Homo-oligomer: A and B are copies of this chain.
């Protein structure tokens, strides 16, 4: 399988695949003419990468999942390193949610305050501008 086919089947671009390779996530043999030749087993690896990227993981976070898949597991999530990353990411997401809730409260309060006090300079300015 050449890079174009893998890209299409995995729903990504050749550019991305070469990028993953330079970062040690996927592997390719080379044919006589220098073309990258992919094993069928790279397809689920690329799919795993895409899925984790979509969830907000960075390439470094994804590495253990790929290693886990290569170790022969049906899922890349079952190895200890992957689980550790999952736990860490879950904590990060929780922290993010908390932060956004705090921001939300702030915005809601400011909005309420703004609406309560809207009849001030702005309106007066607009009235005098007429």
Task: Tell whether, in the assembled complex, residue A90 and residue B77 are in contact, meaning their CB atoms are under 8 Å apart.
Answer: no
CB contacts under 8 Å to B, within A99-129, are 100-101, 103-104, 106-108, 110-111, 113-115, 117-118, 120-122, 125
CA distance in complex: A20, B107 (Å): 23
Task: Tell whether, in the assembled complex, residue A93 and residue B86 are in contact, meaning their CB atoms are under 8 Å apart.
Answer: no
Task: Tell whether, in the assembled complex, residue B104 and residue A90 are in contact, meaning their CB atoms are under 8 Å apart.
Answer: yes
A83 on the B face (CB < 8 A): yes
How extensive is the interface on chain A, given as a class?
35 or more
The contact string, 1 if C-beta is below 8 Å from chain B, for chain A 59-93, is: 00000000010011111011110110011011001
Q: Name the residue of chain B whose CB is nearest to the CB of A114.
A: B77
Task: Tell whether, in the assembled complex, residue A121 and residue B86 are in contact, meaning their CB atoms are under 8 Å apart.
Answer: no
CB-defined A-B contacts under 8 Å, sample of 23: A55-B103, A56-B103, A71-B122, A73-B121, A74-B120, A75-B117, A77-B110, A77-B114, A78-B121, A78-B122, A80-B122, A83-B111, A83-B114, A83-B115, A83-B118, A86-B107, A90-B104, A90-B107, A93-B104, A93-B107, A96-B100, A97-B97, A97-B104
A: residues with CB less than 8 A from B are: 55-56, 68, 71-75, 77-80, 82-83, 86-87, 89-90, 93-94, 96-97, 100-101, 103-104, 106-108, 110-111, 113-115, 117-118, 120-122, 125
